[in-house]
Amino acid sequence: MFIAPPAAGKGTQAELIVEKYHIPHISTGDILREISKEDSEIGKYIYETVASGNLVKDEITYQLIEERLSREDCKNGYIIDGFPRNLEQAKEYDKILKRLGYDIGIVILISIDEKSLEKRIVGRRLCEDCGAIYNINEKENAPQIESICDICGGKLFQRADDNIESFQTRYKTYIEKTEPIIKYYKEKKVLKEIDGNDTIENIFRKIENIISVGEKNDYD
């Protein structure tokens, strides 16, 4: 599981894990963004809530997560990113895991300061076809041609909530609602912390190490 503030690099690291370990990446943000495209009441509700930077109702996420995790491809492990987002969801996740017979696994916290995140948010671009993530303000992460994906040639877009105003709401929500789950997982002794102010390669190396060692006990 990844816990991190918005734009800390969870999505990028998840892509690298998928490539190396061949396990699925389950992101509630991605699932919700897909549903938000639907021309329905729920689609509209999700679009507006996500764009504002607030959290969607807990109950919506429970159904999505349990259905997704119960599929065959999750039986050998998965990366979960964006869920749980508050203490209620963390407790519900315990119940979902119990019903599915899964272990909590390793929880990785990517820490990074607010100013760096703000800078990243405004430059972040995603490929609408393959989901690759770029940053036009970071030389090493910029696409070769602005607005075109290096990997598949797809068009790059900016997320509706990647603006300063939504970021401030998302960051505040993270501090108020998501940070309490860090304590919850520290107490369960499954949490490992990584400094997110580092290169993509260095962060991934640390994640590989955590996975291979399988250490779970950072806060004794």
Q: Which residues are catalytic?
A: 10, 85, 124, 159, 170
**Chain Cα centroid distance, residue 150:** 22
Of 2, 5, 68, 89, the one binding ligand AMP (CB under 6 A) is 89
- Which of 159, 81, 156 minimizes the C-alpha distance to 120? 159
Q: Does 50 bind ligand AMP (CB under 6 A)?
A: yes
Residues 161-180: x/- map of binding to ligand AMP (CB under 6 A)? x--------x----------
Whole-angstrom distance, CA of residue 84 vs CA of residue 174 = 11
Q: E strands of the chain, at which residues?
A: 2-3, 25-27, 79-81, 107-111, 124-127, 133-135, 156-157, 191-195
- Residue 68 CA to chain centroid, in angstroms? 15
**What are 72's two structure tokens?**
């065959």
The distance of closest approach from Cβ of residue 124 to ligand AMP in the complex, given in angstroms and rounded to an integer, is 10
Nearest distance in Å: CB 105, ligand AMP = 17
* Closest C-alpha to 118, from 37, 4, 5: 5
Segment interacting with ligand AMP, rule: CB under 6 A, options 15-23, 81-89, 102-110, 191-199: 81-89
By the rule CB under 6 A, 124 interacts with ligand AMP = no
Least distance from C-beta 92 to ligand AMP, angstroms? 10
What is the C-alpha to C-alpha distance for residues 65 and 117, in angstroms, rounded to an integer?
27
User: Measured from the CB of residue 61, what is the shortest distance to ligand AMP in angstroms?
Assistant: 4
Which residue, 78 or 83, has its beta carbon nearer to ligand AMP?
A: 83
Of the pair 171, 204, the CB lying nearest ligand AMP is at 171
Taking the C-alpha atoms of residue 63 and residue 69, their distance in angstroms, rounded to an integer, is 10
**Residue entry with tokens 């809530």:** 49
Binding mask 8-47 toward ligand AMP (x if CB under 6 A, else -) reads --------------------xx--x---------------
Q: Using an 8 Å Cβ cutoff, are 177 and 54 in contact?
A: no
What residue ranges bind ligand AMP (CB under 6 A)? 6, 28-29, 32, 49-50, 53-56, 61, 82-83, 85, 89, 161, 170
